[in-house]
Amino acid sequence: MLDKVQPAPVAQGSRLWRPKRVLLSRSAREWAHGRAIAERAASQGIPVFELLTDRLTLDLPNDDPRRAYAQAKSTLAVVVAPPSKRRLQPIAPSADWRVDLAEGCPAHCSYCYLAGSLKGPPITRVYANLPEILDELPRHLGQGTVTSRQSERAGEGTTFEASCYTDPLGIEHLTGSLSETVKWFGAWKADAQLRFTTKFDAVEPLLRIDHGGRTRMRASLNPSLFARHEGGTSPVASRLDALRRMAEAGYPVGLTIAPIIAEPGWEEAYGMLIADAGRALNGVAGLDLTVELITHRFTPTSREVLSGWYPGSSLDMGPDGRTEKRTKFGSIKHVYDAPTMKMLRRFFETEIAAQLPKARILYFT
Ligand code: SF4
């Protein structure tokens, strides 16, 4: 018998993901949070399949990659995160530690970094054992190396990033995991900060939480010129409006301008985006605003996966203006070459100083 839960409050007019099916694994059923997610989906009329085991049987068509992709993208699986997934990893430069509430995302961004990091069909998995995930955090307090080294981040304490493998706000109306985590940080009263970044706008469930100022939301943004690369996300103006509402609710906020795409027209497009952000946040009392700047990059694997998922994409992943960078794990990343990076960096630093004088730039990468 599933627990009865109230549907999460949602923003009027938000475009909310509605998966075609929810798979509830046997172990996930043993967790109240897992049962609550299934019940919430069922209350919205989404078919919920209770599995007899923890093995996810996806039944995706072998002979039709487009259909297989579409079916995977419209599947939400409620599973239990094993100990290996609950072990926190350092995640510079964004935060000290990565904490995963879920894995996968329902949107269709043609540059999505998850294409190179997650294996298998692109379903979204949400973790039912949220209490076990949160239990891992206290032992990492004071252990990070990223935020303690940066004066721009003074006062943040140890930082925990929840958006590395998912967009937690894009699935919040079904999972409730982000609200629970924000509440948990609010009650923790430790020198710590939860961070999440999002390309969605449905912040309604977060607005009245006792967050204690220990969660920073960042809106992940690109100008309308590149909106065609961000299928299934909320419009940029709504993301900025959501960010303003969060700032008015007392949250520290930020902009993640990512991925910065140096295609024709980029200067004017990003200049307008930064001006729009300035207008959206204008007049917010006590605004605590940061900016993170992440240029477009890809690996040979992510390029191959993305080319299969989005064969018609106009995103430039060719060799011009690019150079290879070796990661600390020895793999190759294709990033913009040094002159392009220099030009981008100068532009963003100048524009942000002019249009968002209260903002602190945390990093450019
Ligand atoms: Fe990937 Fe973020 Fe787009 Fe989701 S919103 S598809 S995580 S880039």
What pLDDT was estimated at residue 116? Answer: 87
For a ligand 1 pocket test, name from 100, 108, 109, 229 the mutation site with the most ligand atoms within 8 angstroms of its C-beta.
Answer: 109
Report d(CA 277, CA 280) in Å as an integer. 5
Alpha-carbon gap, residue 181 to 130, rounded angstroms: 8
**What pLDDT does 176 receive?**
98
Instruction: Report which of residues 65 and 75 the model is more confident about.
Output: 75
Residue ranges of the domains in the chain?
A: 21-364
Instruction: Determine if ligand 1 sits within 6 Å of the CB of residue 114.
Output: yes
Write the DSSP symbol of residue 64: -
Please provide the DSSP assignment of 207-223 as one string: TTS--TT-EEEEEEE--
Q: Give me 222's structure tokens.
A: 């690109």
Q: For ligand 1, say whether the CB of 359 is within 6 Å of any of its atoms.
A: no
C-alpha closest to that of 173 among 217, 208, 204 = 204
Judge whether residue 79 has pLDDT over 80: yes
By the 10 Å C-beta count (0-12 exposed, 13-18 middle, 19+ buried), 275 is classed as middle
Helix (H, G, I), strand (E, B), or coil: what is residue 67? helix
C-alpha pair distances (Å), 301 with each of 117, 118, 209, 335? 9, 11, 40, 14
pLDDT reading at 4 higher than 70: no
Which one of 114, 197, 297 would you pick to mutate in the ligand 1 pocket, going by the greatest count of ligand atoms within 8 A of its CB?
A: 114
Beta bridge partners of 21: 75
The closest-lying atom of ligand 1 relative to the alpha carbon of residue 230 is 3
Q: Assess whether the C-beta atom of 232 lies below 6 angstroms from ligand 1.
A: no
Residue 11 has pLDDT above 70, yes or no: no
Residue 95 gets which letter from DSSP?
E
Determine the Cα–Cα distance for residues 46 and 133; give it in Å rounded to an integer.
26
pLDDT of 153 reads: 86
Task: Show the CA angle centred on residue 12, arms to residues 271 and 243, nearest 5°.
Answer: 35
CA of 108 to the centre of ligand 1 (A): 7
Query: How far is 118 from 111, CA to CA, in rounded Å?
Result: 14
pLDDT tens digits, 254-297: 999 999 999 999 999 999 999 999 999 999 999 999 999 999 99
Asked casually if ipTM beats, i.e. exceeds, 0.95, the reply is: yes
Q: Is there an atom of ligand 1 within 6 Å of 305 CB?
A: no
Amino acid letter for position 147: T
CA of 4 to the centre of ligand 1 (A): 31
CA 199 – ligand 1 centroid, Å: 7
- Average pLDDT of the segment spanning 50-68: 94
Locate the ligand 1 atom nearest the alpha carbon of residue 233 and give its number: 5
Judge if the beta carbon of residue 167 lies within 6 A of ligand 1.
Answer: yes
Does the pLDDT at position 184 exceed 70? yes
Q: What is the structure's pLDDT at 328? A: 77
Reading the block at residue 126, the tokens are 């949400």
Q: Which residues are CB-neighbours of 223 under 8 A, at least 6 positions away? A: 236, 269, 270, 272, 273
Percent of the chain with pLDDT over 90: 89
CA of 89 to the centre of ligand 1 (A): 20
pLDDT at position 361, please? Answer: 96
Which residues does residue 126 pair with via DSSP β-bridges, in sequence order?
78, 102
Sort 69 into a burial class: Cβ within 10 Å, 0-12 / 13-18 / 19+. middle
From CA 25, how far away is CA 241, in angstroms rounded?
A: 37
Task: Work out the end-to-end distance of the chain between its first and last CA atoms, rounded to an integer number of angstroms.
Answer: 49
In 3D, which of 266, 241, 254 has the Cα closest to residue 348? 266
The CA 310 to ligand 1 mean position distance, Å, reads 14
Separation CA 313–CA 307 (nearest Å): 8
Q: Ligand 1 mean position to 134 CA, how many Å?
A: 24
Furthest-apart CA atoms within the chain: distance in Å: 61
* Structure tokens, 117: 């990091």
Average of per-residue pLDDT across 299-322 = 93
Q: Which two tokens stand for residue 220?
A: 């992940």
Q: Given this model, what pLDDT does residue 81 score?
A: 98
Q: How many CB atoms lie within 10 A of CB 316?
A: 14
Give the per-residue pLDDT at 252: 98
pLDDT by residue (tens digit) across 122-148? 999 999 999 999 999 999 999 988 877
What pLDDT is recorded for position 13? 46
What is the CA(201)–ligand 1 centre distance, in A? 13
pLDDT digits (tens, 9 = 90+) for 163-175: 999 999 999 999 9
pLDDT above 50: residue 72 = yes
What is the pTM (predicted TM-score) of this model? 0.94
Residue 43, φ and ψ in degrees, nearest 5:
-65, -15
Q: Which atom of ligand 1 is nearest to the CA of 166?
A: 7
Band of pLDDT at residue 348, cut at 50, 70 and 90: very high
Look at residues 64, 193, 201 and name the one whose alpha carbon lies nearest to residue 121.
64
For ligand 1, atom 3, name the residue with the nearest CA. Answer: 109
Estimate the crossing angle of helix 65-73 against helix 300-309, to 10 degrees: 100
Cβ 294 under 6 angstroms from ligand 1: no
Among the CATH numbers 3.10.620.30, 3.30.420.40, 3.80.30.30, 3.30.40.10, which is that of 21-364? Answer: 3.80.30.30
pLDDT score for 14: 59
Does ligand 1 have an atom closer than 6 angstroms to the CB of 253? no
Q: What type of residue is 304? A: E
DSSP three-state, residue 59: coil
Task: From the CA of 107, give the closest atom in ligand 1.
Answer: 6
